[in-house]
Amino acid sequence: MEQALEILRKTFGYDDFRHNQADIIQTLLAGNDALALMPTGGGKSLCYQIPAICRPGTGIIISPLIALMQDQVDALKQLGISCAFINSTLDRESQREIERALANDELDLLYIAPERLLNEYTLSLLERCQIALFAIDEAHCVSQWGHDFRPEYQRLSLLHQRFSHVPRIALTATADETTRNEIISQLDLHQASTFISSFDRENLCYQIVEGHKGRDQLWQFLEKEHPHDAGIVYCLSRKKVEQVAEWLSGKGRVALPYHAGLSDSLRQQHQKRFLREEEVIIVATIAFGMGIDKPDVRFVAHLSLPKSIEAYYQETGRAGRDGLPANTWMNYGLQDVISLRQMMQSSEAADTYKRVSMQKLEAMLGLCESAVCRRQTVLAYFGETLTEACGNCDNCLSPPELWDASEAAQKALSCVYRSGQRFGVNYLINILRGKLDERIQAHGHDLLSTFGIGADDSMQHWRTLYRQLIALGYLEVDPEGYGALRLTEKCRPLLRGETGLKLRRQRMADKSTGRRKRRQTAEILDEDQPLFSDLRSLRKEFADAQGVPPYVIFHDTTLAAIAQHRPGDTAALLDIPGIGQHKLEHYGERVIEVVRDHIMSA
């Protein structure tokens, strides 16, 4: 552990381990297996990078995405660590060169995808080499119930069979108890020590808004909170991704689409711009983002409802990896609820899978409709208790108003029943509001006792109510795709008046949540801002010269610390978090020059 701490300080530039890092590292150094659950930005990578450097041989890192491998290798090379990846972007000669370096024990770490790792050629190669450890990153991909399922992950127990003497670590930021048990079972980690850090990302502000005109609400959010920030906007379909990216571009933002329908080269080009340029917004399906290390994503917005809290947590977790304040924002409405319920009910998947998927959707809808602290609800889902409300979500900062919806719900449910449980929301609302049209008259529904009993309330009022009744399980959607609503057993006591129902009243779209004022980047005094800006320009110069993202050189938090403390010589830079010996040698003199210029001109 002394060697591990020395590497942490001299190579990575940090004084102390965080969370469970020290215990995890000690476990691997002793040759034992580990399962580590740590929040995004919590320092998972150090848990296998440092033991891989300390132990004889090469650490083999199983990573699901090419972009993640490239990011990690770029960052590690900046620290002077010998590392490489093998994937489809390499030509045959480059791959052979890396294989030779591996065989000669010249690499500290090698990143590889599970598909390539599991072929016999690679396994035979590894058996002829000295392996320090196996790290299985994004281990939640093993779960067939999850949003990032990769079937190859379920074959990785083979590592224990063929390399029984090599310690393994599985890591993830997203796993409820069921998924944790599945990781242990599928990867044969029954003897592994389990380390669970808090899932709480205190720097993230959660906001979920309901209602229509999602784009308009998104634009208000961006204009007010993030007029010049980089961020991600998630949409469910490729078509919506294209439309939203074009719409944001038309409003003057740099917005790039990302989905599986684009060519590989265009996706890579858009991803590269997002990583290396400032103020870029990526509009994407969930195909984008897993493992993206960009630390200064200041917001993640959803224009479509995620299918589970795991997916929501994973996607929102891509904001604020640097620990600085960031926002997560989601707009959802009636059609989201109907579409996802229909999709799951009409699925041809096995009944068990459908049941688990529906339970996950129920939990996600419960989070959306909840009137209590969002963070408490999310953490409870992962088995963690937050004793006090967080004070940094929309429900804490602007508590929703509750109203007694018992009578209104009885009207809405009765209308479904009396019209024969064969019609969709808009038709039912027309009956409730007493709208006379040919279709209603043709069915004789103008003669129903529910015709016109909701005339005093708006269309939006009834749409919100029906959304909540569907979300809370009082109504189900026709799985055949026609959108007809049907009563469930849950609604019987409510219709009989045996139970009541309180619901959250929809907020006005322009009502401010009153969220805490956040810092734009790092917390920088006005007098330090010019130096911070010049340091960012110098960082970009370094990054452009090497063809890597700026954050691979230095994080904003490192630059902010330099601007604040204004070190007088290169030796003093070692006291700045994030600056190790290798970065000092490569960048120290130029950084000190910029600092001295500011001191002289002050």
Model pLDDT for residues 538-549, shown as the tens digit of each residue: 999 999 999 888
CATH 3.40.50.300 location in the chain: 2-196, 204-397
Please report which confidence band the pLDDT of residue 168 belongs to, taking 50, 70 and 90 as the band edges: very high
Please report which confidence band the pLDDT of residue 40 belongs to, taking 50, 70 and 90 as the band edges: confident
**Average pLDDT of the segment spanning 118-136:** 94
Beta strands 280-284; 485-487: pairing state: unpaired
Please report which confidence band the pLDDT of residue 520 belongs to, taking 50, 70 and 90 as the band edges: very low
Report in angstroms the alpha-carbon separations of 468 from 253, 314, 413, 471, 488: 34, 25, 12, 5, 14
Beta strands 231-234; 299-302: pairing state: parallel
- Token pair for residue 589? 């003199």
Q: pTM for this structure?
A: 0.82
Cβ atoms 305, 336 nearer than 8 A: yes
What pLDDT is recorded for position 511? 45
**Crossing angle, helix 309-316 and helix 374-381, to 10 degrees?**
120
In which element (H, E) is residue 44 found?
Answer: helix 44-54
If you average pLDDT over every residue of the chain, what do you get?
89
Tell me the percentage of the chain whose pLDDT exceeds 90: 60
Cβ atoms 555, 295 nearer than 8 A: yes
What pLDDT is recorded for position 147? 61
Lowest mean pLDDT segment, chosen from 71-80, 346-355, 495-504: 346-355
Tell me the β-bridge partners of 232: 282, 300
CATH 1.10.10.10 location in the chain: 402-504
CA 329, 333, 336, 342 torsion-angle sign = positive
CATH 1.10.150.80 location in the chain: 526-601
Query: Which tens digit of pLDDT belongs to each residue from 147-161?
Result: 677 888 889 999 999
What pLDDT is recorded for position 522? 54
Query: Domain 402-504 adopts which CATH fold?
Result: Arc Repressor Mutant, subunit A (1.10.10)
One-letter amino acid at 344 equals M
Lowest mean pLDDT segment, chosen from 289-298, 308-317, 566-575, 584-593: 289-298
How far from the centroid of its chain's Cα atoms is residue 469's Cα?
Answer: 28
Give the single-character DSSP code of 11. I
Phi and psi (nearest 5°) for 168? -125, 145
What pLDDT is recorded for position 288? 65
Looking up tokens 């809290």 gives 309
Task: Decide if pLDDT at 350 tops 50.
Answer: yes
Q: Taking the CA atoms of the chain, what radius of gyration do you get in angstroms?
A: 27
User: Which CATH number is 2-196's, of 3.40.50.2300, 3.40.50.300, 3.40.50.10310, 1.10.10.10?
Assistant: 3.40.50.300
Which of 354, 303, 309 is CA-nearest to residue 330? Answer: 303
Beta strands 402-404; 502-504: pairing state: antiparallel
Per CATH, the number for 526-601 is: 1.10.150.80
Helices (H), 370-489: 374-381, 394-397, 406-418, 425-432, 438-442, 459-471
Tell me the β-bridge partners of 300: 232, 328
Lowest mean pLDDT segment, chosen from 112-116, 447-451, 478-482: 478-482
Per CATH, the number for 204-397 is: 3.40.50.300
Separation of alpha carbons 375 and 261, rounded Å: 34
**Crossing angle, helix 529-546 and helix 556-565, to 10 degrees?**
140
**Average pLDDT of the segment spanning 125-153:** 86
